[in-house]
Amino acid sequence: MKKIETLEMINIYKSFQGVRANDNINLKVSSGEILGLLGENGAGKTTLMNILYGIYQPDAGEIRVNGHRISIDSPKASIDHGIGMVHQHFMLIQNHTVIENIALGYARAPMLFPQKKMRQSIVSFSEKFNFNIDPDKKVWQLSAGEQQRVEIIKALVNGAGLLILDEPTSVLTPQETRDFFHVLEKMRKDGQMIILISHKLDEIKKICDRVTVLRKGRVVGHACTEQMDKRSLARMMIGREVIFSFSREKMSRKEKVLDVVDVEVDGDKGYPVVNGISFEVYRNEIFGIAGVAGNGQRELVEAITGLRMVTHGRIRINDIDITNQSPRKIHNTGVSHVPEERIRFGIAPNLFLYENAILKQHHQKKFSRRAFLAYGRIKAHTRQLIKDFQVATPSINIQTKNLSGGNIQKLILGREIADKPDLLVASHPTYGLDVGATEYLRNQLLKRRAEGGAVLLVSEDLDEIFELCDRVAVIFQGKFMGILESDDSRIADIGLMMAGTKDLRTGEGADDSF
């Protein structure tokens, strides 16, 4: 395998059932360079990278490595040319352990006893990024953030000459992202090249040398990141100004919606991962839970939405006890849920878009008559939904799996918010959304709050938490390290609390305690 010095994609076309996903795209990267690939949801970024990785064949166009035309007819061919990829939707085998997942694609994996022989190297490799994951856990036991770390390790172990990163940091914590970027910077110094897709413009600005911007399948511009600021990047991407900060007017607390009392929940391995958590969420309030993935927030959310057994304690919604009730009952009580893994838990990928638009709500009067679905009304509702939430799709009569990642997310959010729940439980709601859609979504959450809804927001994105939440709880190893008001001065130290420091005693003039 020769080292890749330059890679060019020339005049690439690709359409799906009449959708032009890529329309005459040109792109070039050279070694020692990090190229950002920007574009709104559905612009065709993933499609383009899948062509480069051999998952799709372009309708027309060519790919050149070091000036020579090459054909990439399968992921294997692409790997053989020294290309590695972190996929937007995790390409992991749920029933296998982390080791088995990494061994599968590792070029130097031993033929015999790979599980035993690779453990040590995987552990030390992941320590380089400060990723701590249990290599013997099965992937389905991991949270989205942990899965993302596995996905990254998988792509990096082979030391690819060209690394494609399709939204690699969407569910990482800021600290993890920083560590990961240090590794990328080192790779750049070693002469590797990287294509990075991200909707987090700060990241793009920080690490990329150049950006290429796509809109509706076409290249709308190239730029050097040095000369651009976040605002101009956003403008280039979506063609209008984006507001990055919100005014969240103060609201007085109304009656209690969610009441969690001393709840304990077991994890997938059978031992407790939520250890006695109590809190309340009120009307007109957005309550945030911040924490590093894997500290029990997933299990807590699943317990509240009825997907997981509560072993101890009570959960009440509007004073109705819903502890260990069925998810449907809980949903009917007024709880909506935006799950952290959209493909696995948020949609039924093979169903049509209009069917997915009413999941969990199909039995409501407005969508059904006795045993029959009222398709007319369902479709009208869906059309309204995709208009309000700007879901980019050629039609509502396509299988939902064919939407781009961000558009699937918009659909889920639209479905859950349009239901006007008393309590909206949202995990990483802006995961994979472009800046325009993020802005819209945050406005929607604030609107829900203003209308009297309560929102429980779980996120590793601290900016999002700070911007939206009235109160923030920090979770660590299944316990709350503290609940802070948004004007609490200790909030600046939230990073420390996420790492397990309890109750920083700053605040009332005790700043010197460190």
Partner 1 sequence: MEEILISVVQRTLVAGTPLLLGTVGEIISERSGILNLGVEGVMAVGAVTAFIVTHHTGNPWLGLCAAIIAGMLISMVHAFASVSLQSNQVVSGLALTMLGLGVAGLLGKPYVGKPLAIKINAMPIPILSDIPWVGPVFFNQSPFFYMAVLLAIGTWFLLEHTLLGIRIRSTGENPKATETQGVNVSMVRYLSVITGGGFSAMAGAHLSISYSKSWIEGMTAGRGWIVIALTIFALWNPMRAVVGAFLFGGIFVLQYMLQPLGISPNFLAMLPYMATLLVLLVGGLRDSRRLNAPAMLAEPYRRGDR
Q: Which residues, including other chains, have CB under 8 Å from residue 316's CB and lie 6 or more apart?
A: 258, 259, 261, 322, 323
Dihedral angle sign, alpha carbons of residues 184, 186, 189, 192 = negative
Selected from 93, 243, 348, 492, the binder of partner 1 by CB under 8 A is 93
By beta-carbon distance, which residue lies closest to Mg ion?
46
**Binding partner of residue 414 among partner 1, ligand ATP, Mg ion, none, CB cut-off 5 to 8 Å per kind:** none
**Binding partner of residue 421 among partner 1, Mg ion, ligand ATP, none, CB cut-off 5 to 8 Å per kind:** none
Q: How far apart are CA 43 and CA 23, in angstroms?
A: 10
344-383 mask for partner 1 (x: CB under 8 A)? -----x----------------------------------
Contact assessment for residue 273 and residue 265, using Cβ atoms and an 8 Å cutoff: yes
Q: How many residues of this chain bind Mg ion (CB under 5 A)?
A: 3
Instruction: Mark the segment that binds ligand ATP (CB under 6 A) among 187-195, 307-315, 399-407, 477-485.
Output: 399-407
Does residue 12 belong to the site contacting ligand ATP (CB under 6 A)? no
Q: How far apart are CA 68 and CA 2, in angstroms?
A: 12
Selected from 45, 298, 428, 490, the binder of ligand ATP by CB under 6 A is 45
Q: What angle do CA 482, 487, 490 make, to 5 degrees?
A: 45
With tokens 């939204």, the residue in question is 167
Q: How far apart are CA 288 and CA 301, in angstroms?
A: 12
**Binding partner of residue 438 among partner 1, ligand ATP, Mg ion, none, CB cut-off 5 to 8 Å per kind:** none
Q: Footprint of ligand ATP on residues 377-396 (CB under 6 A)?
A: 392
How would you label 91-116 residue by residue, b for 16+ Cβ within 10 Å and e otherwise?
bbeeebbbbbbbbeebeebeeeebee
Q: How many residues of this chain bind ligand ATP (CB under 6 A)?
A: 21
Q: Which residues, including other chains, have CB under 8 Å from residue 245's CB and lie 6 or more apart?
A: 467
β-strands 19-30, 6-16 pairing: antiparallel
127-166 mask for partner 1 (x: CB under 8 A)? -------------x-------------x------------
Instruction: Mark the segment that binds partner 1 (CB under 8 A) among 95-103, 201-209, 305-313, 438-446.
Output: 95-103
Q: How far apart are CA 314 and CA 259, in angstroms?
A: 8
Does residue 406 belong to the site contacting ligand ATP (CB under 6 A)? yes
Considering the complex, what minimum distance in angstroms separates the CB of residue 254 from partner 1? 42
Contact assessment for residue 238 and residue 435, using Cβ atoms and an 8 Å cutoff: yes
Q: How far apart are CA 167 and CA 413, in angstroms?
A: 19
Considering the complex, what minimum distance in angstroms separates the CB of residue 155 from partner 1? 10
33-62 mask for partner 1 (x: CB under 8 A)? --------------------x-xxx-----
- In angstroms, what CA-CA distances link 171 with 198, 442, 514? 11, 17, 30
**Binding partner of residue 112 among Mg ion, ligand ATP, partner 1, none, CB cut-off 5 to 8 Å per kind:** partner 1
Considering the complex, what minimum distance in angstroms separates the CB of residue 163 from partner 1? 14
Does residue 16 belong to the site contacting ligand ATP (CB under 6 A)? yes
**Binding partner of residue 94 among Mg ion, ligand ATP, partner 1, none, CB cut-off 5 to 8 Å per kind:** partner 1
Does residue 361 belong to the site contacting Mg ion (CB under 5 A)? no
By beta-carbon distance, which residue lies closest to ligand ATP?
406
Instruction: Mark the segment that binds ligand ATP (CB under 6 A) among 72-80, 300-308, 367-375, 405-413.
Output: 405-413
Considering the complex, what minimum distance in angstroms separates the CB of residue 97 from partner 1? 10
Does residue 21 belong to the site contacting ligand ATP (CB under 6 A)? yes
Per-residue DSSP letter, 129: T
Contact assessment for residue 31 and residue 185, using Cβ atoms and an 8 Å cutoff: no
Selected from 70, 91, 123, 392, the binder of partner 1 by CB under 8 A is 91
Selected from 46, 78, 97, 323, the binder of Mg ion by CB under 5 A is 46
Q: How far apart are CA 24 and CA 217, in angstroms?
A: 8
Q: What angle do CA 449, 450, 451 make, to 5 degrees?
A: 90
Does residue 114 belong to the site contacting partner 1 (CB under 8 A)? yes
- Select 111 or 371, whichever has its Cβ closest to partner 1: 111
Contact assessment for residue 464 and residue 455, using Cβ atoms and an 8 Å cutoff: no
Give long-range contacts, CB 8 A cutoff, 24+ apart: 75-82: 78/52, 78/53, 78/54, 79/105, 79/158, 79/160, 80/1, 81/1, 81/4, 81/161, 81/162, 82/1, 82/3, 82/4, 82/160, 82/161, 82/162
Considering the complex, what minimum distance in angstroms separates the CB of residue 88 from ligand ATP? 6
Report the interface residues with partner 1, using CB under 8 A.
53, 55-57, 74-76, 79-80, 85, 87, 91-96, 100, 103-105, 109-115, 140, 154, 349, 401-402
